[in-house]
């Protein structure tokens, strides 16, 4: 359930939202916002260099589309920067003259810092930095947000309302955004690898591949649902499955010997280091 729909619809109604770049993530956000009716389609603009993409967004969501970033920014209250990080520099040059402190800028570009945006768009810009993840495409995303120093008290709430439409939101300090990238940003790929490995194990043991995948995905989904609904710690639920001398404890011992826990911690640390490098 989108919290924004019930709690904050009135606050966002009346504001115009512009997406600069409306590919995978911009499109996911548009889909979520329209689906949850947070902002009417008539008040949403999407800018994309691709004509086919603009046509698709207009036909599917009834939003306004253009190829003119400056025109979209000029009449928008909230602007979401959703191009690839390497495309951002020229985009900022393009819109700089029409950005001022009447507008809220939300950037989701990986590794791009608040201070960089401030240096390119001006000291007084109201800005929020966000890091969503891929499951936003199906409304099950995890987004971390942090606010720039000139953001108004309501700006973070506005951003929270927007990203709540594609999943859950956490507020963090900016110095933790690389860790967010390493954990929830990259995390879906780690989980896919685990699912793939468990499925392979099933096939190795004679299960048909489709059944092995079904067993694995429903097991992962069920474990996560159990965790969220029971409000217990993972270790408590793990102990509920692992009876003394039983099958699960034998499996867990093999995972410890294989170094799964250390490998996952190292994966998040390596991705966090890489995020820092890319940000520089």
Ligand X SMILES: NC(=O)c1ccc[n+]([C@@H]2O[C@H](COP(=O)([O-])OP(=O)(O)OC[C@H]3O[C@@H](n4cnc5c(N)ncnc54)[C@H](OP(=O)(O)O)[C@@H]3O)[C@@H](O)[C@H]2O)c1
* DSSP sequence for 35-51: HTTSS-GGGEEEE-S-H
Which one of 126-134, 170-178, 232-240, 252-260 is the stretch in contact with ligand X (CB under 6 A)? 126-134
> According to CB under 6 A, which one of 91, 121, 144, 162 is a site residue for ligand X?
91
Q: Is residue 135 a contact point for ligand X (CB under 6 A)?
A: no
Q: Is residue 106 a contact point for ligand X (CB under 6 A)?
A: no
Cβ burial of 226 (10 Å; 0-12, 13-18, 19+) is middle
Instruction: Considering only residues 165 through 204, tell me which ones interact with ligand X, judged by CB under 6 A.
Output: 185
Q: Is residue 84 a contact point for ligand X (CB under 6 A)?
A: yes
Which CB atom, from 11 or from 58, has the smaller least distance to ligand X?
A: 58
> According to CB under 6 A, which one of 64, 69, 127, 186 is a site residue for ligand X?
69
User: Could you give the CA distance from residue 108 to residue 279 in angstroms, rounded to a whole number?
Assistant: 13
Q: Is residue 82 a contact point for ligand X (CB under 6 A)?
A: yes
> According to CB under 6 A, which one of 43, 48, 155, 178 is a site residue for ligand X?
48
Q: Is residue 65 a contact point for ligand X (CB under 6 A)?
A: no
User: Could you give the CA distance from residue 151 to residue 144 in angstroms, rounded to a whole number?
Assistant: 16
**Cα 174–Cα 175–Cα 176 angle in degrees, nearest 5:** 85
User: Could you give the CA distance from residue 235 to residue 220 in angstroms, rounded to a whole number?
Assistant: 15
Number of Cβ atoms within 10 Å of the Cβ of 271: 20
Residues engaged in binding ligand X (CB under 6 A):
20-21, 23-26, 47-50, 53, 69, 82-85, 87, 91, 108-110, 131-134, 185
């Amino acid at each position: 359930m989108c919290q924004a729909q019930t709690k904050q619809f009135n606050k966002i109604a009346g504001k115009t939202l512009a997406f600069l770049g409306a590919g995978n993530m911009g499109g996911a956000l548009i889909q979520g916002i329209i689906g949850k009716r947070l902002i009417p389609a008539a008040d949403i603009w999407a800018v994309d260099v691709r004509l086919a993409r603009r046509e698709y967004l207009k036909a599917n969501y009834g939003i306004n589309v253009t190829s003119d970033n400056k025109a979209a920014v000029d009449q928008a209250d909230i602007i979401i920067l959703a191009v690839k990080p390497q495309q951002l520099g020229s985009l900022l040059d393009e819109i700089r003259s029409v950005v001022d402190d009447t507008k809220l800028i939300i950037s989701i570009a990986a590794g791009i810092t608040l201070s960089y945006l401030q240096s390119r768009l001006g000291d007084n810009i109201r800005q929020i930095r966000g890091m969503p993840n891929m499951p936003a495409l199906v409304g099950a995303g995890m987004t971390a947000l942090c606010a720039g120093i000139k953001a108004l008290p309501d700006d973070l709430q506005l951003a929270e309302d927007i990203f709540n439409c594609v999943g859950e939101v956490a507020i963090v300090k900016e110095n933790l955004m690389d860790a967010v990238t390493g954990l929830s940003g990259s995390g879906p790929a780690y989980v896919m690898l685990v699912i793939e490995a468990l499925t392979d194990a099933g096939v190795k043991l004679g299960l048909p591949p489709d059944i092995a995948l079904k067993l694995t995905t429903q097991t992962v989904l069920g474990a996560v649902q159990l965790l969220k609904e029971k409000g217990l710690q993972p270790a408590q639920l793990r102990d509920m499955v692992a009876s003394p001398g039983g099958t699960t404890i034998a499996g867990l011992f093999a995972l410890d010997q294989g170094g799964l826990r250390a490998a996952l911690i190292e994966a998040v640390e390596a991705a966090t280091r890489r995020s820092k490098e890319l940000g520089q």
